[in-house]
Structure formats: C-alpha cells, structure tokens
Structure 1
Amino acid sequence: MANILLLCICFVLGILFRKSKRFPENTSQVLNSFILHVSLPALVLHHIHEIQFSKETLLPALMPWMIFTVAGIFLYALFRFKKLERKTAICLLLTAGLGNTSFVGIPLLETFLGKESIGYAIISDQLGTFLVLSFPGLIFATVADGKEWQIKTLFQRVFTFAPVFALLLAVLSRPFSYPTWFIVVLQRLGDTLSPLALVSVGFLLNLRTMKGHRLHLVLGLGLKLIVLPVITILVYRNFNTERLMYETIVLESAMAPMVTSTIIAIDRNIVPHLAGLMLGIGIPLSFITTYFFLNLMKAGIL
C-alpha cells in the first residue's frame, strides 16, 4: 500500500505545484523528457535483462496484446464512421488500450492476491504491456499527426526512441551478467519514473477541461475499466489455467491507463488534457473497479 500512497502524494503534489505558480509552465514537458530518456530506459534495461522466459509466460503476456487489439479495432471503427477524430482515437488507444500493469498494478495485486501474483504481473507488464507500447503503440503515436510516413522514417523514429533502444540493448546483453553497481544505478533511476510521472500528470491535470472531453472520457474509462476486463474474462475462462494466474490476468486487464503511454500522448501533444484526465481520474477509479472484479471472482461468479 505504500506504493499506492506514494502515487497519490506525487499526484497531489503536481496539482499543488501548478496552483502555486512557482513552477514554470513547461514543468510537465521537462519531467516527461527525463522520464522518457532516463527513467524508463533504466527500468527496461534492468527488468528485460532479468526476466525468465517459459511456456507459463505466454498467457499473461498475451493479454495486453489482446486488449490493445480489441481497443484498436473498436476505436478505428469509431474513427472510420467519423465519430472520433484521429488524434482523439489514438489518445484513447494509448490510454484505454494500455494498462497500468506495473506501478499501480503490482501494489494492488500484492494487496488483493498476495506476493505470489507478482511474478505473473511482471510477465504481463514486461512481455505484454511494455512491448505493445514499444512497437504498435509507439507507431500509432508517431503517425498521430496524420502525416504519411515512409516505412524507413517510421522505423527510424521507433528504434531511436530511447526506451526501445534500451529494450534491444537489454535483449542483446542477456547472455552477460550486469555488475552489481550497474544494477543498483538502474534500480535507482527506474524508481524515479512513477513519482515523476504522477507529478507531471497532476501538474497538467485541469478538471476545467473535462467539459470539452466528458463524452470521450466516459468512453475511454468505460472501455478500459469495464469492457476490456469483461472481454478478458470471456476469453481466459476458457483456458485451463491456475486460478491465481487467471485472477491476476483479469485484474491486470482492469487496471487504470498506463503511466508511460499517457506521458507519451502528453509529450507528443496527442490531446494531452484528455490523456491527463484518463490517467488522473482512471487511477483512483480503478481501485473501485478492480475490487469489484476481485469480489466477483472470489464469489465464484466469474
């Protein structure tokens, strides 16, 4: 619970910093740049290098790919029928289509299901959510401005993005052991991601902007916190999986929008106020919705 309390404190601090007017207007952009070029690459270099691959990693790892695909198809249909603008659809895809499977997900799972669930959560986060963000997610973020990109240019933008470069480096370095001092440095730098991200989102969050985004916010949060978890239940209950794995997968699918994908949407000006609202409102709301799904599973209803 200490991690969740830390997130709440950092989020509130961001709001207070903005209201105090003692911080420059571009504070959020500066924090986002540090996160994307330092904090996140450090986290990737550490976790991807250490993670163990096996057959058991398949089902938790596939869940984020599935919900991103389902969300993408649904939002693309709304875009094609001119119900959503391109940037709005991509903003919702980056927030509703990707879950906070680590920074909020792991503390909640430890509280709800115990430490035994954390292994499945890390697999879902590192082999699922993060890889989805690194490749299809980042590609959508790159083309959000509506310009036509050549494949060569698009891949250059993706593979020169610091977290993706760190991902490739972590995979290539797996045969070698990191020195202890390097692991400590990566851990310390990686630990800055979640607090700084919540400060950034809190600084950007302005509930006065909700009026212009109310319908999109309801659509995005309804999709992320209710519809996609229900779809996950319908799919995964057909597999003969360990009960703890099943419950972990379902709860991970029901988590709030991903911090990093929200930061990317904000950093690239993809409807930033909507992205901030999705995360700022989605995190506290997800505490309620995940608890609801947990009780339905414990009661044997799901």
Structure 2
Amino acid sequence: MANFVLIVLCLLIGQGLRRVKDFPRDGHRALNAFIIYVALPAVAFRYVPAIEWSGAVVWPFVVQFVGFGVALGAVWLFGRMKPLDTATRGAMLLTMGLCNTSFVGFPLVETWYGADAIRVALLSDQGAFFVLSLLGVGFATWYAEGHVSVGYLVRRVVSFPPFIAFVLAVLLPVNILPGWWGVLMEKLSAPLVPLALISVSLQISFGERFGQWGELWWSLMVKLVVVPAVALGMLWWVADMPEEYFKVTVFESAMAPMVTAYVVASQFRLNSTLAGYTVGVGILLSLLSTAGWYYLLEWWWEG
C-alpha cells in the first residue's frame, strides 16, 4: 500500500511544483539526467547479475516489439474509420507502441510483485528501449521527414547509458563483486522511483485546449487493454515461462504510454498535444488498469 501511495503522492508533488514560481520550468531535465546517467545504470548493476539466464529472458524483449506491431495495426485500422494527418498518425503510434516500463513500470511492479521482480521488469525495460530507439525513432523520422538513417539509430542505441550499463552488467563476472556492491547499487538506485514519477508529472500539462478525444481513447484502449491481451495470449500459447516471468512480462506490457513518446513527438514535430494528453491520462488510468491486470493474471495462472 505504501508504494501505491508513493506513486500518487509523487504525481501530486510534480503537479504542485509546476505551480511553484521559483521552480525551474525545465526542472525535469535535471531529474531525467540523474535517472538516465546514475539511477537506471545502478538498477542494471544491481539486478542483472542476479538474473538466471534461460529461454524465458527472451520474451520480455519480444513482447515489447509485438506491442509496437499491434500499435501499427491499430493506427491503420483507425485511419480507415477516420482520416488522419501524418503528425497524428505518428503521435498515436508512439503512444500506443511504447510502454512506460521504468518510470511508471518499476514502481508498479514493485508494488504488486515485490522488489525482486524488478530484475524481470528490467528486461522489459531494455526491450522497450530497443523499440524506442529503433522503431519509435525510426517511424517518427519517417513520419516527419519521409526517410530514416540507420546510422543515426545505431548511434542512439550504443550511446545510451542504461544500455551500456546493461551490457556491462551482463558481462560482469558475479564472483568478483565485493560484498558491499549490492548495497552501493541499492543506494544509488533508490531515488529512481520518486524522481521518475515526479519528472513524469512535471512534464504533463492539462492546461492546453484539446479536441481529439476519439484518437486519445482509441490509443489508450489499445495500449492498456489490447496490447497486454495479445501479450497474454501469445505467452500462454507459445512460451514455457516461469510464473514470475510470465506475470511481470504481461504486466509490463499493460503500462501507460512511455513519457519519451511525448518527447519524441515534440522533437519530430508530430502531434505533441495529442501525445501529451494520451501520456498524462494514460498514467492516471494505468494505476487502475494495471491493478485489474494483476488480479486477472493471478486468476489466469491459478486457473
């Protein structure tokens, strides 16, 4: 219960800080820099060495790519029902196809499944990062400019600090780590959840005029309901997975849209207003929808 209260409290703190006159308007940039360069790498160094490598670890990656494929189909289908401009198509694709696996996902996974489940959530997060760096940025570039550079995408992947930390943590021999290593990484990663949630809230504004509720609700229905349903069906019929991997992988696929989807939409001059509303409303709704998915997964597994 404390973790759930923490999520709500941090979101309220972020909205409160937006109204503090002396608080920098771009204060979230400092929080994001600490998260990306310190906290997320510390999470990798804390949990990756404890992962038991098996065939099950592939599926958290695969599910993130499948979710993006579902989003592509959903954008095409909605476009058949209602004409969409290129900027709106791009914004809908990004918000439907990219999961908030870390900033919102980690605290929710910890709330429902415990801190040890973060090691599985971390795999989903790396999968989401690959989807963002390759497909997300690729399609955003294509929607905005009509072409995409492979070299640009590769540079984004290999220079991203959490990815570098993930690779180093995989290669790091566990038996050479000193006894204090785990405690140090725990301390460095501890601020991740509150700072990430506050950063998310700082970047969300509900003050803009908005008139695309149909696009918003379609995007959220796909992201919060259809994508995890597809993940559940695929893993149930295809993958032979341990209980924790199965539940956390599906649970992570049910997360709200990635905050970075809004950032990318803004950078590539897509429909950033739609993206911002979808991310903001999605985060609030996901606090309820993920609870529903938790109980459904418990019932499903027991059945």
User: TM-score when scaled to structure 1?
Assistant: 0.76
Indicate if the aligned counterparts of 2:130 and 2:157 stay in contact, CA closer than 8 A: no
Which residue pairs with 1:157 in the alignment? 156
Higher mean C-alpha deviation, range 200-209 or range 99-108: 99-108
The Cα shift of 1:181 comes to 4.6
**Percent identical:** 33
Which residue pairs with 1:71 in the alignment? 71
Residues 1:109 and 1:91: Cα distance change in structure 2 (over 3 Å):
same
Q: Distance in 1 between matches of 2:115 and 2:200?
A: 31
Indicate if the aligned counterparts of 1:60 and 1:120 stay in contact, CA closer than 8 A: no
Q: How does 1:233-244 map to 2 (within 5 A)?
A: 233-239=232-238, 241=240, 244=243
Which residue pairs with 2:15 in the alignment? 15
Q: Distance in 1 between matches of 2:57 and 2:94?
A: 24
Residues 1:126 and 1:204: Cα distance change in structure 2 (over 3 Å):
closer
Residues 1:66 and 1:213: Cα distance change in structure 2 (over 3 Å):
same
Q: Secondary structure at the match of 1:209?
A: coil
Q: Which amino acid in structure 2 is aligned with residue 31 of structure 1?
A: L
Which residue pairs with 2:231 in the alignment? 232
Residues 1:129 and 1:179: Cα distance change in structure 2 (over 3 Å):
farther
Which residue pairs with 2:199 in the alignment? 200
Which residue pairs with 2:117 in the alignment? 118
Q: Distance in 1 between matches of 2:164 and 2:82?
A: 36
The Cα shift of 1:10 comes to 1.5
Q: Distance in 2 between matches of 1:300 and 1:153?
A: 42
Higher mean C-alpha deviation, range 67-76 or range 261-270: 261-270
Alignment gaps of 5+ in structure 1? none
Q: Which amino acid in structure 2 is aligned with residue 128 of structure 1?
A: G
Residues 1:296 and 1:56: Cα distance change in structure 2 (over 3 Å):
closer
Query: For this pair of structures, how many residues does the alignment match?
Result: 300
Residues 1:228 and 1:55: Cα distance change in structure 2 (over 3 Å):
same
The Cα shift of 1:17 comes to 0.9
Which residue pairs with 1:265 in the alignment? 264
Which residue pairs with 1:25 in the alignment? 25
Q: Secondary structure at the match of 2:52?
A: coil
Which residue pairs with 1:218 in the alignment? 217
Indicate if the aligned counterparts of 1:141 and 1:268 stay in contact, CA closer than 8 A: no
Q: Distance in 1 between matches of 2:265 and 2:35?
A: 12
User: TM-score when scaled to structure 2?
Assistant: 0.76
RMSD, matched Cα: 3.9
